[in-house]
Amino acid sequence: MTDIALLAARVRHHIRINQLADAPAEQLLASYAESRPTLPAIWPLQPLLGAPSTAAETAVTLGASLNILESRSAAEAATKMDWLYPTAACAAQSLCAGRPTWLMASSSLIAACAKVAGSKRTPIADMRRDYSLRISSAAPVNQITPECLARRIPTMLWQSWTVRIQPIGSHSSATREHLSVRTLLAATQLSCADAVGLLCGTLTTGAIASAIKALSQDPHWPAISEAIARLADYLCTRDPIIDYARRRGLDYSDLLTEASWRRLCRDVEMLPGGSLTHEAVRHVLFEKISGLPAEMLAYGECVKHPYTFRQQIKNFPLVATPQLAEALWDEGRLFLARRRIDEPLTYDPPLFLLEGLDVPSADIDHINIAMLHRLADQIPWPSTLASLLCTDTDAIRYLLEEHPVATRGSDHNSLHATKNRWQRTIGP
């Protein structure tokens, strides 16, 4: 009887909001003859208390309630009662603590209501639920403000994390940006627009929302959501290693000047190449230091084809030698030291946080680096390398950045040869 009373109150709620309580009996009965009556525009969370005022209203409330309770499973009941709970908040309200009547409801009805709530949660709500479950079972910690958390997150999520948790086939700085936004949203009650603003990215809130929706439809979404919750929890409870808000606000106009670039090339015994090569390497270093997309640093006049230029920036790991990479990162450390910033050049949260999760590219660590080096020395195209090694092009770029290919032969001891190989990476 409690189940009937609870559902009947919800049906009566629906009748009153649709302004059908005073309608003729025939109209009222006809309106609820369908399995999914029209949803009202606004639903108050609290159900309407009291008894029906007419025989027709009584018939509708009892009929709809019994139709739900006659279901053979919680899943079938959830489908039938979906129209009574148009939002996750409505369904969750029926299950929250402090509602004595629901404590007397049957386990079947509670399970059905929980299924309705789960089916209507947004991807952001999923992440916040996962994050809340983590902190609810942990010892109390000092809460940090959204602004403080944003200082601990780069505008583009760490590549070591992105290549493991992004869906297979996602290849852009936009993916890294929206994963950073999601991490900030998981541990805060910020709106999407506010989170984007704090992280100073290039994407619109509409693009972020679309990306979030697409990601939530990936088969690995439960693991991705849990990974983001674990990351957010870790960042909230550890002292920050890098202040990314400060780095986002630095003046990069004197980063890797032409004189510095020529000195660097002399140190690694390479020719400096043309202005386009210098500009591309400068943008690579900017992205490395700031955590911002490379395109947020203004392009020089030498850049005539922005798409091709962006591809060269992305493919830098395919052509960089260990000596060139280390010299470039040393230049980044000098840049920070000149500004009295006592921080490492880069930092990545520990990957043990992903243990036990079925994330899309959990097997990236099993790729044979020696084989990758042999192939990369002969094949300049990341898509071909990814196909041969059964992985993702972003994973190829990431692994080669972490483990640069040592040069072979005298022909490789010039940046002219490196530049030629770099240009070839724009191919297939």
Q: Give pLDDT tens digits for 198-243.
A: 999 888 888 887 887 788 888 998 899 999 999 999 999 999 999 9
Report the alpha-carbon angle 111-112-115, nearest 5.
Answer: 90
328 — pLDDT class (breaks 50, 70, 90):
very high
Query: Which of 71-75, 104-108, 410-414 shows the lowest mean pLDDT across its residues?
Result: 410-414
Least confident of 7-16, 53-62, 103-112: 103-112
Reported as a pLDDT band with limits 50, 70 and 90, residue 98 is: very low
pLDDT for 142 beyond 70:
no
Q: How far is CA 135 from the centre of its chain?
A: 20
In the structure encoding, which two tokens stand for residue 6, read together? 């609870």
- The token pair that represents 13 in the structure block: 């709620």
Question: Picking from 139-148, 288-297, 341-350, which range would have the lowest pLDDT averaged per residue?
Answer: 139-148
How far does Cα 217 stand from its chain's mean position?
12
Among 281, 292, 366, 274, smallest CA distance to 321 is for: 281
| Domain ranges for the chain | 2-119, 123-245, 258-424
From residue 357, alpha-carbon distances to 219, 364, 411 in Å are 13, 14, 45
